[in-house]
Every structure is written in structure tokens, then in C-alpha cells.
Structure 1
């Protein structure tokens, strides 16, 4: 049976029609990543490690058929309809931040995924030189990561690239997640020692601008307002 027929709700209503397009598992998370800047298949796959590549390809085809995404020259680009989903996706994030965003569960603490997300938000444009290196270590995960920014283009290395490190970060995985997502302020994490930053003063005092937080971090403090 055709998938569109299986997921049809049989109701003439714009909400049910929207759910027929976006109600499939992973569809909204794919749209989230496209909205915040991913355009390549491998970028989407890295940012959604629980999603198989075959299902990702299937969902992208569905979104393309629905007119939300264009596949051009190996890139997935949002159409006008896709871009119009941005306030919807961020409204869901705001609701989640207020009503369902508690401390992370153990199975949500993926260090590699966190570093992958972080590398998309590193901004070293105000620092001299064409290459900048951030070293990320975790006190409760043996893996180490290097974020290398060359000519403004960031990449993630899982082994030492052999370049000098400009800034080192160390914390447990949960703490860095909380900082990245706005549940714990960067200043509080640094003052308590839960997050440690090492490097030249020019780097450490600019940490908040070099490492920009998640695009949804600004929504998360509303949770503190509700629970305080």
C-alpha cells in the first residue's frame, strides 16, 4: 500500500494535511536541521545518528515530493514552503523547553553528536590567522575531538590533526549539553569548574562569542521561569 495512503487521516483539515506530510518519524528533525543550515546528505546523517541512511533518503524524497525541499547539485535546499516551517519548528522547541525539557536521560548524552552540533556554531572570524583549533575532552567519555576551522570552514576530527590547539574545553558530557542548550549558563559552568577552558586569554575571554550556543538555547530559559 502506498505510504501516503497509509498515513492519510481522511479529514479535510489543514492540520491533518500538515501531519500527513510532517507526522512521519524523523521528518520534523530533518526539517529542523535543514532550517538551521544543513544542506548535504552526509551533514544530515551526522546530525541524526539514530536515523538510518536509507530512511533518511526516503524521508528526503517524501519532503521533496511535498514541495518542502529541492535537491539541487547534491544539496537539499528549502523551498518557500519549507522556510515557512521555521516558526512552527521553533514554536515546538519553545513548548518543549517550557513543558517537557528536564535534565537529560543517559541515552540522550551522545558526545560525538554534541561536538558535531557545536562545530556548526563556532565563529572565529574576529581572531587572526587562517586556522584555529579547539580541543574538546570529556571527563566521563574517553573519546576526544578536535574542531578545526580553516579559512572559516569548520570540521570535526576524532584523532589529533597535529596542529597547535588554541582553545581546550573539558567537562562531563551532561554539563556541556546543558551549556550548549542554555539550561546552564556558560559563566556558571566556568565559575563552578564544571566546565574548564584553557588557552590564550584572547580566546578564553571571547569564549561566548567563539562558541555560539544552539539555535534553540534562547528558548530554554523559559523552563527556569516555570520551575523556579
Structure 2
């Protein structure tokens, strides 16, 4: 069914497994209880600490085992970015505020203000990094297992790599390598740390392995790069 206007309302779900897809995007904000949602590659147990977004045309099964109430935001495609994927995110302070404002709008049903709020929420689908990508930005210095990243997105590891490349345009290994390179280049330009200290800070066991890797990435040794940038 096509959707021409934003719909924001409370809904409840049954214990029976249902299966369908929408011709619009949908945000689910749990208010009470939980919901199990299964797509081809994900299984999400949605509780009031999180929210979940389903893009248009995404087939999913769903059911609830307990008494439940959800705030649902159905978004016509004209409000959405060209391409969106599922998004599962914790309700931090900002997302909690969004849920509160949507609840207010659901009660008042003022089309203009709901439209403005929906455009803001839709914009976050482009701006917010998925949880596993955000995790890499904080932990790129450490060994990271693919299974750990996949679990954050509720993907099976066999599907996660393809999903990650679709999201970022890079493999996990290449993405981590780019993060390390940016950090190394910044430290070489802006700090007086030794090469050994910088290699440690960017997650390498020793200076020699760091030097080989850096030269392979840039064509310069770390020492040459520092002299070039600071000369």
C-alpha cells in the first residue's frame, strides 16, 4: 500500500507470527513490552531501550510474546533518502527526545509540525553511523572480531561483511586500515611522539611492522612523511 501522508500512532502486536513488507519506511519505538522482528539476515528483539527502522520493500516477520505498546512512525518515500537500510539504535538522550516529541505529535496530529519532525528523523538515517561502524571508530587500535561487529547489528557474520561494504563502500579490513592511517598521519604531523609510540597508539606490535605498513599505504616511511609535512 502506498502512503501519501506521515502516520504517527500507537499500535500493539499479537503473539501470532505475521509477515509483510511496506511501500514506505517505518520507525518502531517500543513504549511497553517487546517485539521480535526477523528479516532475511537479522533477528532483533526490540525493547523500550531501542528503536528500529525498516526501509520500504523490506520483508519481515514479527510477533510479541508479552503485553506491548509501540509508537509507530510510517514515512512516505518522498521523505526518505534515496537508499536506506535497517537501523537498530539505542535510545540515547537525543533519540529519547525524538520519541517524546513524536508522542506529543501523535496526540495532536498536526500535519505541518509532524511533517517537519519526520524530515528531521529521516535525515538521521543518513547522518548516524551504524553501531558497529561507530564502535570501529573508537576501537580501531584493537583487534576486532567480525562476530563481535555482526552481533551489534544483529546480523549473521556470513552476511555482515556484505552489509558493511554496502554501508561504507569498503571491507572491514580496509575501513580499519583507513582509520589507522588517518590517526598515524595526524600524530606524525602534530605530535613529537616517537615512531615506536605512534605505532603502539595505532595498534601495531612494533615500529618495524608499522613502518612497512605505512610505507605501503603512502609511499613514504613515517620519518619521511613527518619531514615532508613539517618541513
- TM-score, normalised to structure 1, is 0.27
Which structure has the greater CA radius of gyration? 2
- TM-score, normalised to structure 2, is 0.27
